[in-house]
Amino acid sequence: MESSLIYLRKDFLDKCTQLGVSVTAEQTDSLLAYLSLLLKWNKGFNLTAITDPKEALDLHLVDSVSISPFIKDFNSLLDVGTGGGLPGIPLAILNPDKQFSLLDTNSKKTRFLKQTVFELGLSNVQVVNSRVQDFAQESGYACILSRAFASIEDMLNWTEHLLAEQGQWLAMKGVYPTEELQQLPQQIQLVNSELIQLPNRSEQRHLIYLQKTNQ
C-alpha cells in the first residue's frame, strides 16, 4: 500500500534495527500507511495531539513497535483505551499470529479504527466501542495492555474481569512508576519490568508486567 510518508521509511527502519525489532518490507508499508491514515483522519477526528509526521513516527509508531519483542508469550491481547490504535494497530501488523482487541469509548476513534482495519486488511484485529467496565469476553485475555490510559490502580480495577487465568497486565509507562507500584494491592505482584530507550530521543519507556498472586 502506497503511503505519503514513504520518505520516513529509512528513518523508521534504522530505528527498528536499533531496537532489535524485525520488520518486513510489507509490514513497513502497512505501518507507514497506518501513520498516514492517522494523521489524515486526525484533522477531523482529533485522534492525536501530535501533528508533525517525524514526531508522530517517533512517539507513536516507533514507541509502539518497540514493545513487540516483549509480547511474544501472549496470544490474545486487549489494548484498552486504544485511542487512535496505539499500540494495538502497529503490534497487530507485526504479529499477525496474535489476536488483538482494541477498545475505546470514543465512537469517532473506533470508526477510524474500523476503517483502518479494513483498509490494511488486518484480520487479527477486533474493534470494540465500549466502556471497559461494560465489556465482557468469556475466555479472557492473556495480556491486557495500556499506553497512557489510566493509573495502574484504575487499570487493574477496571479490567480485572477481562484477564484470563494466569494472564498478565502490561502497562506502558514513561518514568518508572515507583509510587504507583508501592500502592499495589496485596493480591497483585510485579512480575517484571523492562526499560526501553527510544532511539535518538530523551524519552524512556518502562514496561510494567503485573499478575494476580495465587493466594
Q: What per-residue confidence (pLDDT) applies to 203? A: 85
Residue 100 lies inside a defined structural domain of this protein? yes
Question: Are the beta carbons of 121 and 104 closer than 8 angstroms?
Answer: no
Query: Whose grid coordinates read 509507562?
Result: 173
User: What are residue 186's phi and psi, to 5 degrees?
Assistant: -60, -35
Mean pLDDT estimate for the chain: 95
Q: For 3-25, what is each residue's pLDDT tens digit?
A: 679 999 999 999 999 999 999 99
Residue 66 lies inside a defined structural domain of this protein? yes
Residue 13 lies inside a defined structural domain of this protein? yes
Q: Report the run of H or E that residue 25 belongs to, with start and end.
A: helix 25-45
Residue 1 lies inside a defined structural domain of this protein? no
- CATH number, domain of 46, equals 3.40.50.150
Residue 23 lies inside a defined structural domain of this protein? yes
Residue 191 lies inside a defined structural domain of this protein? yes
Q: What per-residue confidence (pLDDT) applies to 149? A: 79
Question: Are the beta carbons of 66 and 15 closer than 8 angstroms?
Answer: no
Nearest-10 Cα torsion for 95, 86, 112, 45: -170
Q: Read off the DSSP letter of residue 62.
A: I
String of DSSP letters for 63-84: HHHTTGGGGTT-SEEEEET-TT
Residue 161 lies inside a defined structural domain of this protein? yes
Q: Which domain holds residue 181?
A: 6-212
Q: For 41-90, what is each residue's pLDDT tens digit?
A: 999 999 999 999 999 999 999 999 999 999 999 999 999 999 999 999 99
Average pLDDT in the 150-168 region? 94
What's the total number of domains in the chain? 1
User: What are residue 132's phi and psi, to 5 degrees?
Assistant: -60, -35
Name every residue whose Cβ is closer than 8 Å to that of residue 83 and which is 6 or more positions away in sequence.
47, 48, 104, 106, 109
